């Protein structure tokens, strides 16, 4: 292994855990340093979809600056909190600059290439004895509006180039309700992506952490990283609540907290938190598939006799505040689309922050000017899907010193053509 074997991984979400797991498989001596419990951030209460065909990045073509004003409406699925606008403005301008067909196509292609290995790698984990709940049940994309849904299917067509199989057309009404009996008759059209699977995220994090420990990875929980010591182009050690730690290499995979951490080293990672909510319900008819309700932007995932429902993308800084109005909206959108639930109330309300770069793509790179510092974040809406392939690729980069070609689109210096914004980094709560 080039440049020393000891690697410190900051952050124990799916990004950090998968990186640690694949580093250990390549012979590195790894310590994961997590401020809370592993898998307690965005990687906990999400939908768990392994859905690489959904590779379209968040900035979509055609979003005008005027159109972005509509996102200040609290009812919008993609929502910008007006009180945070001043802080968000430099990032939003960058985001808007990627809302064009060329950037979208580049993002889609890059994500499709990276995500394509997820099934092979998850199968590999199963073969290695990693224990987690895996459901090979396919994913149904459904809507009350067949015209809008046909446009969604057309948007996914380029994915066929990358080996993803899509149906020729939608199924409607009786045929749809037969395919997915959990849906109510408000939902009129759908199409099934059979290749997609889902995991129970909590079990996935737990399983990978246990497998990493079995490979010799040390996992420190309750050990917030507060500072770094560097000399010249090398990070020498990190200061944590549990003491100082030295490593030959450091990977920061701290999700939405990454920018504030790396700002201490003068490294700008333009990632914002895209908050989403989820909760559990007990449906009277459990869906046979994971279901994306495309018209209301709500994702529903069956786990045994329960279903997790999640949605919204809210830019309101680094905070885990549960906005009642937005949760109620998500509940209403889902309730109308399914048969009655056994109990009307919802359980386990949760918020998580997706780390989102302005082009919607991950940041998987060495963090110049440091020669032994790496960053693995920005997995956006795809962290469970990208966790294994991104972790494997960055582990290869770190251990061999050669960047795998699949990581070329995810360099940090792709943002350097923008003037560096003067901004305050939020650690939490502000």
Which among 188, 185, 183 has a CA at the least distance from the CA of 285? 183
In angstroms, give the least distance from the CB of 399 to ligand FAD. Answer: 20
In angstroms, give the least distance from the CB of 366 to ligand FAD. Answer: 18
> Based on CB atoms, which residue is closest to ligand FAD, 35 or 329?
35
Instruction: Give the three-state DSSP class for 191.
Output: strand
In angstroms, give the least distance from the CB of 172 to ligand FAD. Answer: 26
> Based on CB atoms, which residue is closest to ligand FAD, 319 or 380?
380
In angstroms, give the least distance from the CB of 428 to ligand FAD. Answer: 9
> Based on CB atoms, which residue is closest to ligand FAD, 16 or 302?
16
Distance CA 408, CA 160 (A): 22
Which among 294, 299, 52 has a CA at the least distance from the CA of 149? 294
In angstroms, give the least distance from the CB of 419 to ligand FAD. Answer: 26
Whether the CB-CB separation of 376 and 251 falls below 8 Å is answered with yes
> Based on CB atoms, which residue is closest to ligand FAD, 37 or 150?
37
In angstroms, give the least distance from the CB of 178 to ligand FAD. Answer: 25
> Based on CB atoms, which residue is closest to ligand FAD, 14 or 140?
14
Q: Is the peptide bond before 369 cis (omega within 30 degrees of 0)?
A: yes
> Based on CB atoms, which residue is closest to ligand FAD, 40 or 172?
40
Distance CA 271, CA 274 (A): 9
Work out the widest C-alpha separation in the chain, in whole angstroms. Answer: 67
In angstroms, give the least distance from the CB of 308 to ligand FAD. Answer: 9
For residue 276, what are the β-bridge partners?
352
Chain residues binding ligand FAD by CB under 6 A are 10-16, 33-36, 40-43, 46-49, 224-225, 253-255, 257, 261, 276, 278, 299, 310, 352, 354-355, 377, 379-385
Distance CA 430, CA 420 (A): 22
- The 3-class SS string of 297-354 reads CEEEEEECCEEEEEEEEEECCCCCCCCHHHHHHHHHHHHCCECCECCCCCEEEEEEEE
Strand 234-240 with 225-231, pairing: antiparallel
> Based on CB atoms, which residue is closest to ligand FAD, 188 or 240?
240
Which residue's structure tokens are 């939902």? 187
């Amino acid at each position: 292994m080039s440049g020393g074997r000891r690697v410190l991984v900051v952050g124990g979400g799916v990004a950090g855990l998968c990186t640690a797991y694949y580093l250990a498989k390549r012979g590195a001596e790894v310590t994961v340093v997590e401020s809370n419990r592993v898998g307690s951030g965005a990687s906990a209460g999400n939908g768990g979809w392994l859905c690489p065909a959904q590779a379209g990045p968040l900035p979509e073509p055609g979003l005008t600056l005027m159109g972005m004003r509509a996102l200040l409406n609290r009812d919008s699925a993609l929502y910008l909190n007006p009180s945070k606008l001043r802080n968000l403005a430099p990032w939003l301008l960058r985001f808007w600059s990627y809302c064009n067909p060329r950037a979208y196509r580049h993002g889609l292609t890059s994500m499709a290439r990276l995500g394509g290995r997820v099934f092979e790698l998850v199968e590999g984990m199963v073969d290695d004895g990693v224990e987690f709940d895996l459901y090979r049940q396919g994913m149904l994309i459904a809507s009350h509006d067949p015209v809008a849904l046909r446009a969604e299917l057309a948007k996914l067509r380029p994915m066929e180039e990358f080996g993803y199989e899509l149906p020729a057309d939608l199924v409607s009404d009786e045929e749809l309700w037969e395919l997915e009996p959990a849906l109510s008759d408000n939902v009129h059209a759908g199409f099934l992506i059979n290749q997609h699977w889902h995991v129970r995220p909590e079990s996935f994090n737990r399983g990978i952490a246990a497998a990493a420990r079995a490979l010799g990875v040390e996992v420190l929980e309750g050990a917030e990283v507060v500072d770094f010591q560097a000399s010249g182009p090398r990070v020498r050690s990190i200061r944590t609540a549990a003491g100082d730690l030295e490593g030959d290499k450091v990977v920061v995979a701290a999700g939405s907290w990454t920018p504030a951490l790396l700002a201490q080293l003068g490294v700008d990672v333009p990632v914002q938190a895209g908050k989403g909510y989820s909760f559990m319900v007990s449906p009277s008819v459990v869906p046979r598939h994971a279901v994306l309700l495309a018209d209301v932007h709500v994702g529903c995932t069956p786990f045994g006799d329960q279903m997790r429902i999640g949605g919204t993308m809210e830019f309101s800084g680094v905070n885990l505040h549960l906005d009642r109005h937005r949760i109620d909206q998500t509940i209403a959108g889902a309730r109308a689309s399914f048969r009655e639930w056994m109990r009307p109330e919802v359980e386990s309300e949760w918020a998580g922050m997706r780390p989102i770069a302005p082009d919607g793509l991950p940041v998987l790179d060495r963090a110049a000017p440091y020669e032994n510092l790496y960053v693995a974040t920005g997995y956006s809406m795809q962290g469970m899907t990208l966790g294994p392939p991104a972790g494997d690729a960055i582990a290869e980069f770190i251990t061999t010193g050669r960047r795998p070609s699949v990581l070329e689109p995810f360099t940090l210096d792709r943002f350097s053509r923008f003037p560096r914004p003067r901004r305050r980094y939020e650690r939490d709560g502000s």
